[in-house]
């Protein structure tokens, strides 16, 4: 149980392109999903908290107009990296919590984004 699916797993695109990443909870409902960024050999840095049906909460220093988050249903959240540039290249990982009770976060497989 508690499976989180993330797509795509790998994206290579030109500078200036917008890239959408999807995060789905497959066998549970998730009112809250989280988006992280991870640089090589570094820890997980929380970018934003995505709540179903409301605006995302961004961490300090994260540009909300750059990283658009939509959480339109209890099983899907999307992260769009707008007008991506080489410095946006990174490993992006989502996680989701089960809707009820004090449950841990379960992670997707991550998306490796490379901007040329």
Partner 1 sequence: GENVEQHPSTLSVQEGDSAVIKCTYSDSASNYFPWYKQELGKRPQLIIDIRSNVGEKKDQRIAVTLNKTAKHFSLHITETQPEDSAVYFCAANPGLGNSGGSNYKLTFGKGTLLTVNP
Q: Which residues bind partner 1 (CB under 8 A)?
A: 4, 32, 34, 42-46, 49, 51, 57, 93, 97, 102, 104-110, 112
Closer to partner 1 by Cβ: residue 16 or 109? 109
Are 38 and 93 in contact, with CB atoms under 8 Å apart? yes
Closer to partner 1 by Cβ: residue 86 or 102? 102
Cβ 11 to partner 1, closest distance in Å?
15
Cβ 114 to partner 1, closest distance in Å?
14
Cβ 78 to partner 1, closest distance in Å?
18
d(CA 106, CA 75): 13
Cβ 18 to partner 1, closest distance in Å?
24
Closer to partner 1 by Cβ: residue 17 or 110? 110
- Beta-carbon-side half-sphere exposure of residue 68 (alpha carbons within 13 Å): 11
d(CA 30, CA 15): 33
Q: What is the DSSP string of 50-77?
A: EETTS--EEPTT--TTTEEEEEEETTEE
Closer to partner 1 by Cβ: residue 66 or 112? 112
Q: What is the DSSP string of 27-50?
A: SS--SEEEEEEE-TT--EEEEEEE
């Amino acid at each position: 149980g508690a499976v989180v699916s993330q797509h795509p797993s790998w994206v290579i695109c030109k500078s200036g392109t917008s890239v959408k990443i999807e995060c789905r909870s497959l066998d549970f409902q998730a009112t809250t999903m989280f988006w992280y960024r991870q640089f090589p050999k570094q820890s997980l840095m929380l970018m934003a908290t995505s709540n179903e049906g409301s605006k995302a909460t961004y961490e300090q220093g994260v540009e909300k107009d750059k990283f658009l988050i939509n959480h339109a249903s209890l099983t899907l959240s999307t992260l769009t990296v707008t007008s991506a540039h080489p410095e946006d290249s990174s490993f992006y990982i989502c996680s989701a919590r089960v809707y009820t009770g004090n449950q841990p976060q379960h992670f997707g497989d991550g998306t490796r984004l490379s901007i040329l």
